[in-house]
A and B are shown apart, each in its own frame.
Chain A
Amino acid sequence: MCLAIPGKIIDIVHGTPTLGTVEVVGVRRKVDLGLLQDDMPVPGDWVLIHVGFAMSKISEADALDQMRMLAVLGEAEQAMQEVEGYGFEDPGLEGPKPGPGLEDLRTKPN
Chain B
Amino acid sequence: MRFVDEFRDPEIITKTAEEVRRLADPAKHYRLMEVCGGHTHAIYRFGLKDILPANIELIHGPGCPVCVLPMGRIDDGLAVAQEPNVIFAAFGDMMRVPGTQGSPLEHKARGIDVRIVYSPSDALKLARNNPEKHVMFFAIGFETTGPSTALTLMRARAEGIQNFSVFCNHVTIIPAIRAILDSPDMRLDAFIGPGHVSTVIGCRPYEWIAVNEGKPIVVSGFEPLDMLQSIVMILRQMRAGESKVENQYKRVVPWEGNRAALRAMAEVFELRPYFEWRGLGFISQSALRIRDEYAQWDTEQRFHVPGIRVTDPRAAQCGEVLKGVLKPAQCKLFGRECTPEHPIGALMVSTEGSCAAYHSYEHRKNLLTSIQTAA
**CA A77 – CA B196 in complex, angstroms?**
20
Q: Is B255's beta carbon under 8 Å from chain A?
A: no
Q: Given contacts A56-B252, A93-B129, are A69 and B222 in contact (CB under 8 A)? A: yes
**A96, closest chain B residue (CB):** B155
Q: Is A43's beta carbon under 8 Å from chain B?
A: no
Contact (Cβ within 8 A) B263 A102: yes
**Stretch from A7-15, A20-28, A47-55 forming part of the interface with B:** A47-55
**CA A93 – CA B130 in complex, angstroms?**
12
**Stretch from B141-149, B271-279, B315-323 forming part of the interface with A:** B141-149
| Chain B interface residue count, Cβ-Cβ cutoff 8 angstroms | 58
Chain B residues 85-136 with CB under 8 Å of chain A are: 91-93, 116-122, 124-125, 128-129
Which of A2, A4, A32, A97 contacts B352, CB < 8 Å?
A2
**CA A32 – CA B119 in complex, angstroms?**
10
Chain A residues 90-110 with CB under 8 Å of chain B are: 93, 95-97, 99-100, 102, 104-107
Contact (Cβ within 8 A) B260 A1: no
Contact (Cβ within 8 A) A87 B122: yes
Residues of B within 8 A of A83 (CB): 118
Contact (Cβ within 8 A) B119 A35: no
Contact (Cβ within 8 A) A106 B118: no
Contact (Cβ within 8 A) A52 B261: no
**CA A7 – CA B125 in complex, angstroms?**
22
Contact (Cβ within 8 A) A52 B118: yes
Residues of A within 8 A of B93 (CB): 1
Contact (Cβ within 8 A) A99 B260: no
Q: Is B158's beta carbon under 8 Å from chain A?
A: yes
Q: Is B287's beta carbon under 8 Å from chain A?
A: no
Residues of A within 8 A of B144 (CB): 2, 50, 55
Residues of A within 8 A of B223 (CB): 65, 69
Which of B45, B92, B140 contacts A72, CB < 8 Å?
B45
Q: What sequence of 0s and 1s flags, for each residue 328-347 of chain B, a beta carbon within 8 Å of any chain A beta carbon? A: 00000000000000000000
Residues of A within 8 A of B125 (CB): 87-88, 93, 95
Contact (Cβ within 8 A) A105 B252: no
Chain A min CB distance to B125 (Å) = 5
Contact (Cβ within 8 A) A2 B118: no
Contact (Cβ within 8 A) B259 A73: no
Chain B min CB distance to A89 (Å) = 10
Q: Which 10 residue pairs of A and B lie closest in terms of their CB atoms, listed nearest first?
A: A52-B119, A85-B118, A105-B154, A87-B122, A53-B148, A1-B91, A35-B261, A1-B93, A82-B118, A51-B119
Taking Cβ atoms with an 8 Å cutoff, the residues of A that contact B are 1-2, 4, 32, 34-38, 48, 50-53, 55-56, 58-59, 62, 65, 68-69, 72-75, 82-83, 85-88, 93, 95-97, 99-100, 102, 104-107
In the complex, 10 of the A-B residue pairs with CB atoms within 8 angstroms, ordered by the A residue number, are A34-B151, A48-B196, A53-B119, A53-B148, A55-B196, A56-B252, A65-B223, A87-B118, A102-B260, A106-B154
Taking Cβ atoms with an 8 Å cutoff, the residues of B that contact A are 3, 6-8, 37-38, 41-42, 45-46, 65-66, 91-93, 116-122, 124-125, 128-129, 140-141, 144-145, 147-148, 151, 154-155, 157-159, 196, 199-200, 222-223, 251-254, 258-261, 263-264, 267, 291, 293, 351-352
Apart from A35-B264, A38-B259, A52-B148: 7 A-B pairs, beta carbons within 8 A:
A35-B148, A72-B7, A73-B45, A86-B122, A93-B129, A97-B159, A106-B267
